[in-house]
Amino acid sequence: MSLADLFTVVAVSAGAVFFLAGTVGLLRFPDALTRLHALTKADNLGLGLVVLGLLPRVDGVLGGLKLVAIWLLALLAGAAVSQLIARAARSPGPRG
């Protein structure tokens, strides 16, 4: 296996581990705010490592830029939406 392939395997595996951690946290942590914390790890690191692992496989700079742009977009949206979800969690509504 070439060095690039090895890098892809390692990075993607690490990313998958973070997705797993995000889900386990979402399911097992005791309250909404701690669950939110687990979720953002999946967003940042899980997706970031997956994108990093796929970068050696793209053809051309444009492809690589697109992948990084997707990650940055997910980061931005995730960060903002996490704040909104936290607000919803702190003042529980009609459904608790």
Q: What distances in angstroms separate CA 52 from CA 36, 48, 87, 89, one per listed residue?
A: 24, 6, 32, 32
Q: Is 91 in the site for another protein (CB under 8 A)?
A: yes
Q: Is 10 in the site for another protein (CB under 8 A)?
A: no
Q: Is 5 in the site for another protein (CB under 8 A)?
A: yes
Q: Is 36 in the site for another protein (CB under 8 A)?
A: yes
What is the distance, to the nearest Å, from the Cα of residue 19 to the centroid of all Cα atoms in its chain? 7
Closest among 57, 77, 78, 66 to 12, alpha carbons compared: 57
Task: Name the residue nearer to another protein (CB basis): 3 or 96.
Answer: 96
Least separation in angstroms between residue 29's CB and another protein is 10
